[in-house]
Structure 1
Amino acid sequence: MAILFYPEILVAIFLCLLFLCHLRCNKSRTITNWPVVGMLPGLLQNASNVHEYVTWLLKQNGGTFEFKGPWFTNMTFMVTSDHMNIHHMFSKNFSNYTKGQKFQEIFDVLGDGIFNSDSDSWTCQRKLLHTVLKDKKFKLFFEQFVKGKVEKSLIPVLDHVSSFGIEVDLQDIFQRFTFDTACLVVLGFDPNCLSIEFPDVSHAKAFDQLEECLLYRHIVPESCWKLQRWLQIGIEKKLSSAWKIFDQFIYKCISSRQEELSQSKAPKTEEENFDLLTAFGEQAEEIGGIIKSDKFLRDTALNLMVAGRDTISAGLTWLFWIVATHPHVEAKILEEIKEHLLDNGKSKDFNIDEIGKLVYLHGVICESLRLYPPVPFEHKCSVQFDILPSGHSIKPNTTMLCSLYSMGRMESIWGQDYMDFKPERWISERGRILHTPSFKFIAFNAGPRTCIGKDIAFIQLKIIASAIIWNYHVHVVEGHPVSPSISILLHMKHGLKVRISKRNV
Structure 2
Amino acid sequence: MAFWFLPELLIPILVVLLVVLSLHIKSTRSKNSLPPPQNWPIAGILPSLVVNLHRLHDYIAAVLPSTGNSFMAPIASTTRFFVTCDPANVQHVFTSNHANYPKGEEFAQIFDVTSGSLFTADGESSRRLRARYQSVLSSPRLLASMANCCHDKVEKGLLPFMARMARTGAPLDINDVVSRLVFDLYATTVLGVDPCRLSLLDMPPMQVADAMDTVMEVGFVRHIVPLFCWKLMRCLMVGPERRLAAAQGVLRRFTLEMVERRRKTVCSIGRLEENEEEQQARVTSSSVVDILSNYVNDPEYYENDDHLLQATLITYMIAGRDTIGTTLPWVFYNLAKNPHVVLGIRNKLAPIASTRKAAAPFDAGAMMVFEPEELKPLVYLQASLLESMRLYPPIPIEREIMVSSDVMPSGHEVRAGDIVIISLYSMGRMEDLWGPDCQEYNPERWLSKDGGKLRHVPSHKFLAFNSGPRMCLGKDIAISQMKTIVAAVLWNFDVVGVLLDGQQAVEPKLSCLLQMKNGLKLKVQKREM
Task: Give the match for residue 408 of structure 1.
Answer: 428
TM-superposition CA deviations, 1:389-417 (whole Å, max 9, x none):
10111211211011111100011211222
Task: Give the match for residue 506 of structure 2.
Answer: 482
**One-letter identity of the residue aligned with 2:49:** L
Task: Give the alignment of 1:12-51 within 5 angstroms.
Answer: 13-15=13-15, 17-18=17-18, 21-22=21-22, 25-27=25-27, 29-30=34-35, 31-51=37-57
Structure 2 residue 347 is the aligned partner of structure 1 residue 335: yes
**One-letter identity of the residue aligned with 1:65:** F
Structure 2 residue 308 is the aligned partner of structure 1 residue 296: yes
Partners of 2:322 and 2:15 in 1: CA distance: 33
Task: Give the match for residue 262 of structure 2.
Answer: 257
Distance 1:484 1:68, change over 3 A: same
Structure 2 residue 122 is the aligned partner of structure 1 residue 118: yes
Give yes or no for contact 1:471–1:503 (8 Å, CA) kept in 2.
yes
Instruction: Please report how far the alpha carbon of residue 15 of structure 1 lies from its aligned counterpart in structure 2 after TM superposition.
Output: 4.8
Instruction: Please report how far the alpha carbon of residue 161 of structure 1 lies from its aligned counterpart in structure 2 after TM superposition.
Output: 1.0
Task: Give the alignment of 1:36-115 within 5 angstroms.
Answer: 36-71=42-77, 74-115=78-119
TM-score w.r.t. length of structure 2: 0.90
Give yes or no for contact 1:207–1:242 (8 Å, CA) kept in 2.
yes
Distance 1:168 1:349, change over 3 A: closer
Of all paired residues, the percent bearing the same amino acid is 37
Partners of 2:524 and 2:16 in 1: CA distance: 45
TM-superposition CA deviations, 1:171-200 (whole Å, max 9, x none):
001111111111111111112221222012
Partners of 2:513 and 2:357 in 1: CA distance: 41
Does 205-214 or 57-66 show the bigger shift? 205-214
**One-letter identity of the residue aligned with 1:25:** I
Partners of 1:2 and 1:433 in 2: CA distance: 60
Distance 1:365 1:4, change over 3 A: farther
Give yes or no for contact 2:493–2:524 (8 Å, CA) kept in 1.
yes
Does 26-35 or 149-158 show the bigger shift? 26-35
**One-letter identity of the residue aligned with 1:486:** L
Task: Give the match for residue 372 of structure 1.
Answer: 392
Partners of 1:270 and 1:377 in 2: CA distance: 42
Task: Give the alignment of 1:339-488 within 5 angstroms.
Answer: 339-342=351-354, 343-344=356-357, 350-430=370-450, 431-475=452-496, 476-479=498-501, 480=503, 481-488=505-512
Distance 1:128 1:292, change over 3 A: farther
Give yes or no for contact 1:473–1:502 (8 Å, CA) kept in 2.
yes
**One-letter identity of the residue aligned with 2:219:** L
TM-score w.r.t. length of structure 1: 0.94
Distance 1:340 1:75, change over 3 A: farther
Give unmatched runs, 5+ long, in structure 2. Answer: 273-279
Partners of 2:521 and 2:369 in 1: CA distance: 31
Task: Give the match for residue 204 of structure 1.
Answer: 209
**One-letter identity of the residue aligned with 2:146:** F
Larger radius of gyration between Structure 1 and Structure 2: 2
TM-superposition CA deviations, 1:193-239 (whole Å, max 9, x none):
21222012322222222222221112322222111110001111111
Does 1-10 or 83-92 show the bigger shift? 1-10
Task: Give the match for residue 275 of structure 2.
Answer: none
Please point out which of 137, 145, 162 is paired with 2:166: 162
Instruction: Please report how far the alpha carbon of residue 256 of structure 1 lies from its aligned counterpart in structure 2 after TM superposition.
Output: 0.8
Task: Give the match for residue 323 of structure 2.
Answer: 311
Give yes or no for contact 1:483–1:492 (8 Å, CA) kept in 2.
yes
Does 262-271 or 437-446 show the bigger shift? 262-271
Structure 2 residue 289 is the aligned partner of structure 1 residue 277: no
Does 204-213 or 354-363 show the bigger shift? 204-213
Partners of 1:191 and 1:78 in 2: CA distance: 42
Give yes or no for contact 2:368–2:491 (8 Å, CA) kept in 1.
no
Partners of 2:97 and 2:130 in 1: CA distance: 19
For the residue of structure 2 that corresponds to 1:379, the secondary structure is strand
Distance 1:117 1:9, change over 3 A: farther
Does 473-482 or 320-329 show the bigger shift? 473-482
Give yes or no for contact 1:340–1:357 (8 Å, CA) kept in 2.
no
Give yes or no for contact 2:368–2:488 (8 Å, CA) kept in 1.
no
Partners of 1:474 and 1:76 in 2: CA distance: 46
Partners of 1:272 and 1:83 in 2: CA distance: 46
For the residue of structure 2 that corresponds to 1:344, the secondary structure is helix
Aligned residues: 498
**One-letter identity of the residue aligned with 1:392:** H
